[in-house]
Structure 1
Amino acid sequence: MIFKNSSIFLLGLLTSKAVFSQEIGVESRNRIMNAKQGTIVELPNFLTENFKHIAYDKIIQPGPQFMISDDPEYIRIPEGIALKESVKPGAVRLYVYNVNGVKEPKKIERKITAIIKNTGNKPLTIKMLKYSSQLPSTDYFFVGKNGLSDYFSSNGKELKDRKVAPGEVIAIDPKLEKHVVKYDELVHGFYEFIIDQPAEIAVLQTSPEKSSAKAYTEIKTAIPSNHKNAGRGLFGVSNYKIFNQNIINTAEGVSQLVLADGKTDPWVVGIEGESGKISKLAGNYGVIYDIDLQWKSTDGKGLALVTWNSRAGDNKWCSGMAASMVTSAGVFKEGVVQLPSDKLITKSEPEVIVIQVFKPKNIGEVETLNLKYSPPGASCLPTPLIFIPVDL
């Protein structure tokens, strides 16, 4: 069993790497303090991957049954199932990330959609808690950033509760049923919902004219996993809680919180339903990190939070980064912020995105800031969160 129980347990400590602290100059400080939330500023001769790492504890929180469809990412056959999993009554999170990859014998329009089949013996009710549905697009950065932003902002009221008869198949997202997906376009859906009967969840590609219910009854097996993308399956972790081990002090210089790097923060694992084999989610995409960090100012400075595309030099796929997250209040109000908000992407150093600036209430008083983060689809990881002491 993947979901053993709802108890919280400690995964353990993460790491401190080589210490590197650095002061920013007056000009760079002014750029940060004069920037609007989410916008890009340049900090020349400042960025490094060697900033002091914030050591943290990571706790698995109770959460929904979580599955992602990204293996294969590009669906190369006209009709096929990209994900098929059985779920129990309760909460479910589904992340759809698939591309129409049909190009032989020619490029054709397709439909990529997600379905639920009631495998119980009573009517199933599906109640949406979080709903994020994007138009198919070849602009993967735009889709990934807006998909996260819509998910964080959603309260589930975008879709009414629906009933599914025993044995019946319906589309989870009615919008996906209507979209025509051209070659190389990405379909991105991010959902969280509650069901009260056992069910099958599937993501499939078919012709625009055919209903997903009909396609699901006709397609008998899922496309074999190629192990080249993020992954697919039913994963054992959907939510993490993050606590820093040591209080951040503005007097101690710049520090960074690095999540979803696959090293200090390993990839979650689960079971791929069709094969029964262990599956690894490379990127932890769709996993929600609830972050509480304690900090204080013993020198009267504030704490600026920025991020940057630290992987820009890796390869052509890493040339840009776009994300969304939730931050507690500071100079800017609490809530969802797109990163960046003034452009589609941030490219590389010296660019940083200003997320928030926290002001101390009193000198030396310990405070807690809260962030909600999920690794951004289409972007290379990690996307470090940099905390910079700044004069107010």
Structure 2
Amino acid sequence: MGLLSLALGLAGSAAAQLQLTFSVGQPGVRINGQGAQITAPQIVDGRTMLPLNDTVLLLGYHLTRNGNVVSVVGGDLAVDLGSGYATVRGQRQGAGNVAVLNGKLFVSARVIAAGLGGELSVGDGSVLTLSAQPRGAFVPRPPATPQPAAPTPTAPRPSFPAPSPAPVPGPVQPAPPQARFSTDKASYAPGERIIWTEYSYDPEGGGLTARNWTGKQDVYWAPGNYAVSLQVTNGKGQTSAPFSRTIRVQGAAVDTPVTHALRYGQIGDRFADSRVLTYPALTMGQLSPRPVPLLFSDSPEKPQQSGVLYQDQVSGEARLLGYHVNDLGRPARMYIMIRNLESRPVSVALNRQGETAPSRIEGILGQVTLMDYFSSPARSTVNLAPGQVSALYASPTLNPGHGVSILQDLQSSGRVVVSFVMAEASLPMNDATLRSLPYLPLDGRHQRGTFQGADRPMTAQLGQLPARVVIGDGQHDPVLTGRDTVTGAGQRLAGNYGVLYDMEFTGASGTAIALSPRGGLYRGAMRIIDGDLTQVIKLPREGNALTPDEPHLLWRAKSDRVRIQFMPSNGSALPVNLVFYRLPEGTYKWYQP
């Protein structure tokens, strides 16, 4: 902010002009060019505040106190410390003109001007000028004036001191940035949304590079007074003085954390709801699934030698999911190899693919793979001669400890053998190498096998809400069973990883959908079709979903019929709940495009 000028002029022709100049947040001031120090002026609730005692002393006044009332001797200003209000000529001034900062009494510059019989005007460049009648010894002496010649040499001459030389100005320092913000109201009810408007600026025309808020919240849940302050920093590293306001919260609550989040929360926000498990589980109608097998390879999850991880035959549609970490102790690659078993040419079309490699972070492997998969266009087609072997997928080189997640939907025009392989990066992957590799044993902790029913179409009518859809718990949501064709052993697909839940909900208009993690850290993705809007969204939109009683807001439905395609994310913990809420009236935003 530019310099504020405080000028006091003496009445009458013999009066001298007294000017006090200062900058907000700076203790150094000047009186007609002469330096002085006061407690730094501040901005409080949008008002420029001066330290009362320092200011009146500079102007030649002084303070007296009677009980809780502090008065300016010779002026018309008084402050009642008990009520926190100032009076000018007996008239009570508005709230917010008095503040105690670090034990020191501050009063607004405008009220001080009025209390000293002055006027405050605004000039160019945000300069304020206060004209008032100065008092006391701080009135500067008039400068010397020329005198007529004396009639006799012995006649006494009046003696005037020579004027002081004008101070030599130092280098001009750039003005610091100024923090500013406002709210849409002066007081709020508990649970009421607060609209913050920031309008900080840099007087030198530069940009602001940082903002530091203290005490700011979008909503306060308990009655009381809440101090909020803001400091901003510009590109030169200058930081503003704190700008503060007090938020008053009183009266009856207008929202709970749940209704506030549903009404105003941004998509991706999390909110407190400890009652999720008390909401009824929706009864999902099971539709006839398409006969799509899932070939799942996750054991051994961390192979320690080159070999075949899993293998089976497919014809027609199939889904492949491989999830492995290189534990060979040297660089390796993962492959999905296909061999034509027919006596005729066979084509294998890759309809959809999601992949993550390499990564050491398990949660990233599953989430990025699903984001890729749901947004994937149709890929290439591989044509195989009878008996021919080809790579349907080859990962980048995986250093020890790096993992890969690969998810594919394919369609074959004939019988092919699909092999999931981990091999040293130096090995050429061809028919001879594939035939020489051993089948690796299960690790005893994870699954592999072929499971029927990779697509699970379902439908539900939304009625009484809140309600939830439970995924991956093994009870409300039964696990797929299948067989490991390498060993012939039966397998249970805990978590149903790789299963596509294709869910259609009717009666969805005016509802919100949230994700509640129930088993631990979860990071995934889903595809949603809401009327003419189709979008792939991250679950959650930012960071991790971890706390069971803090659902993440995913969507606000605008259509009566909403379709959700969800697949459990490998590398994340299950179960999860999709929670449906009825939106309250006056909801801020229906959906997130």
State the TM bucket, normalised to the shorter chain.
Answer: 0.7 to 0.9
Aligned equivalent of 2:458, options 237, 242, 245: 242
1:310 aligns with 2:310: no
What residue is the counterpart of 1:209 in the other structure? 426
Relative to structure 1, is the Cα distance of residues 196 and 253 closer, same or farther in structure 2, using a 3 angstrom cutoff? closer
CA distance in 1, matches of 2:548, 2:294: 35
CA distance in 2, matches of 1:271, 1:296: 38
1:98 aligns with 2:315: no
8 Å contact 1:40–1:351 — kept in the other structure? no
CA distance in 2, matches of 1:35, 1:296: 19
Tell me which amino acid in the other structure corresponds to 2:322.
Answer: V
> RMSD over aligned Cα, in angstroms?
2.2
CA apart distance, 1:350: 4.5
8 Å contact 1:92–1:192 — kept in the other structure? yes
1:258 aligns with 2:476: no
Aligned equivalent of 1:342, options 504, 529, 542: 542
Instruction: Give CA deviations for 1:95-147 in whole Å, capped at 9, x if unaligned.
Output: 11111123xxxx22211121111121122212110011222111111121111
Aligned equivalent of 2:410, options 193, 214, 222: 193
What residue is the counterpart of 1:41 in the other structure? 270
1:143 aligns with 2:359: no
1:154 aligns with 2:362: no
What residue is the counterpart of 1:232 in the other structure? 448
**Partner SS, residue 263 of structure 1:** coil
1:169 aligns with 2:389: yes
What residue is the counterpart of 2:530 in the other structure? 329
What residue is the counterpart of 1:29 in the other structure? 259
Identity %: 20
**Partner SS, residue 353 of structure 2:** strand
| TM-score normalised to structure 1 length | 0.79
CA distance in 1, matches of 2:289, 2:471: 16
CA apart distance, 1:201: 0.5
CA distance in 2, matches of 1:164, 1:342: 43
CA apart distance, 1:187: 0.9
What residue is the counterpart of 2:218 in the other structure? none
**Partner SS, residue 530 of structure 2:** coil
CA apart distance, 1:349: 4.2
The answer for unaligned runs of 5 or more in structure 2 is: 1-253, 588-593
8 Å contact 1:60–1:237 — kept in the other structure? no
What residue is the counterpart of 1:385 in the other structure? 578
CA apart distance, 1:48: 3.2
1:358 aligns with 2:557: yes
1:122 aligns with 2:344: yes
Aligned equivalent of 1:72, options 300, 306, 320: 300
Tell me which amino acid in the other structure corresponds to 2:452.
Answer: G
CA distance in 1, matches of 2:526, 2:376: 13
Instruction: Give CA deviations for 1:125-170 in whole Å, capped at 9, x if unaligned.
Output: 121100112221111111211111111111223xx22222222221
Instruction: Give CA deviations for 1:365-390 in whole Å, capped at 9, x if unaligned.
Output: xx332111111111111110001122
Instruction: Give CA deviations for 1:277-327 in whole Å, capped at 9, x if unaligned.
Output: 222211111111110122267xxxx21100022123xxxxxxx21110011
Relative to structure 1, is the Cα distance of residues 296 and 203 closer, same or farther in structure 2, using a 3 angstrom cutoff? closer
CA distance in 1, matches of 2:491, 2:269: 37
Instruction: Give CA deviations for 1:14-33 in whole Å, capped at 9, x if unaligned.
Output: xxxxxxxxxx9445433344
The answer for unaligned runs of 5 or more in structure 1 is: 1-23, 313-319, 361-366
Tell me which amino acid in the other structure corresponds to 1:64.
Answer: V
**Partner SS, residue 433 of structure 2:** helix
8 Å contact 1:206–1:215 — kept in the other structure? no
What residue is the counterpart of 2:8 in the other structure? none
Aligned equivalent of 1:111, options 333, 339, 364: 333
8 Å contact 2:292–2:454 — kept in the other structure? yes
8 Å contact 1:59–1:241 — kept in the other structure? yes
CA distance in 2, matches of 1:28, 1:270: 41
Aligned equivalent of 1:182, options 378, 383, 399: 399
Instruction: Give CA deviations for 1:179-227 in whole Å, capped at 9, x if unaligned.
Output: 11122222111001111221111111111122322431211x4212234
What residue is the counterpart of 2:68 in the other structure? none
CA apart distance, 1:339: 1.0
What residue is the counterpart of 2:502 in the other structure? 290
CA apart distance, 1:35: 3.9
**Partner SS, residue 287 of structure 2:** strand
CA distance in 1, matches of 2:516, 2:440: 36
Which of the pair has the greater relative contact order for Cα pairs under 8 Å at 6+ separation?
1
What residue is the counterpart of 1:218 in the other structure? 436
Q: Which moved more, 1:208-217 or 1:140-149?
A: 208-217
CA distance in 2, matches of 1:95, 1:349: 28
8 Å contact 2:526–2:564 — kept in the other structure? yes
CA distance in 2, matches of 1:350, 1:182: 38
**Partner SS, residue 240 of structure 1:** strand
Tell me which amino acid in the other structure corresponds to 1:131.
Answer: Q
8 Å contact 2:331–2:424 — kept in the other structure? yes
CA distance in 2, matches of 1:62, 1:212: 34
